[in-house]
């Protein structure tokens, strides 16, 4: 079932291959050539799914945060299981993916508070790694910038600790933050994948996105901030709404 679902609508590869290639490194946003190459393999079907799911999460993530956390845990288990299964035996990849996906999805339900902290921490690690790499990309000193980009794990550790702790201290803001950023990331990936499926636009889109390592992080950061503001306003309005 997982293999059929993964290959639905795909031409060059399946969605497991695309996603594992994208997240093979933590600072993937600062490497637009590799990212766009991977997204070119994503089909229109999965591009539309990513775009739709990303927009819903970015704009209404807190409202459905339990569902978002469970789906995220399930997805992490599926893709991590697929990568692990490929190292063990190629034919076992989907079995391992399915088992880990179900295990994490079921396990995070009774441990929702800790699951939110874990997902928030992982989102923070991704934000930290790519922020660190993006800052390095705009530095004038190329030697120092290259060394800094290679140490993106420092930014990842800072993001992991800060966002993980925020999940316990300011729960609502933490959920709004990681759903806004996560939703924006998925939506932008889906939008890029769809644009790259149009033969007339492929080269223009790819050359524009790869012009500088800061381009894709900016495309994700702007909708993230918009999503965070809209979700905060929505939550504030719901709190202030008088009882009838």
CB count, 10 Å around CB of 147? Answer: 11
pTM (2 d.p.)? 0.85
In a domain, 77, yes or no: yes
Cα 241 from Cα 223, distance rounded (Å): 27
Give the structural domain span for 150.
2-195
Alpha helix (H) ranges present in the chain? 2-7, 15-22, 32-39, 44-60, 65-88, 93-108, 112-137, 142-150, 152-169, 171-195, 202-209, 215-240
In a domain, 89, yes or no: yes
Structural domain total, the chain = 1
In a domain, 46, yes or no: yes
- Tens-digit pLDDT profile for residues 189-238: 999 999 999 888 889 999 999 888 889 999 999 999 999 999 988 877 66
**228 class by beta-carbon count within 10 Å (0-12 exposed, 13-18 middle, 19+ buried):** buried
In a domain, 215, yes or no: no
In a domain, 8, yes or no: yes
- Tens-digit pLDDT profile for residues 13-41: 588 889 988 988 888 998 899 999 999 99
In a domain, 206, yes or no: no
In the predicted model, is pLDDT for residue 165 greater than 90? no
In a domain, 235, yes or no: no
In a domain, 213, yes or no: no
């Amino acid at each position: 079932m997982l293999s059929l679902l993964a290959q639905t609508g795909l031409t060059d590869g399946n969605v497991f291959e695309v996603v594992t290639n994208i997240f093979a490194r933590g600072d993937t946003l600062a490497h637009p050539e590799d990212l766009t190459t991977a997204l070119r393999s994503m089909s229109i079907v999965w591009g539309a799914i990513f775009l739709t799911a990303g927009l819903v999460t970015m704009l209404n993530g807190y409202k459905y945060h339990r569902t978002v956390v469970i789906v995220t845990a399930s997805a992490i288990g599926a893709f991590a299981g697929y990568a692990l299964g490929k190292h063990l035996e190629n034919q076992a990849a989907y079995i391992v993916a399915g088992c880990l996906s179900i295990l994490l999805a079921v396990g995070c339900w009774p441990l929702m508070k800790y699951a939110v902290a874990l997902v928030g921490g992982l989102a923070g690690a991704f934000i930290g790694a790519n922020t660190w790499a993006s800052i390095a990309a705009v530095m004038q000193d190329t030697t120092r910038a290259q060394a800094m980009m290679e140490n993106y794990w420092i930014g990842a550790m800072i993001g992991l600790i800060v966002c993980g702790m925020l999940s316990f201290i300011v729960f609502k803001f933490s959920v709004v933050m990681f759903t806004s950023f996560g939703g924006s990331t998925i939506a932008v990936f889906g939008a890029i994948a769809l644009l790259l499926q149009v033969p007339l636009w492929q080269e223009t889109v790819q050359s524009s996105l790869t012009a500088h390592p800061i381009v894709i992080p900016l495309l994700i950061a702007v909708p993230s901030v918009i999503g965070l503001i809209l979700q905060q306003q929505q939550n504030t309005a719901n709190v202030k709404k008088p009882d009838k």
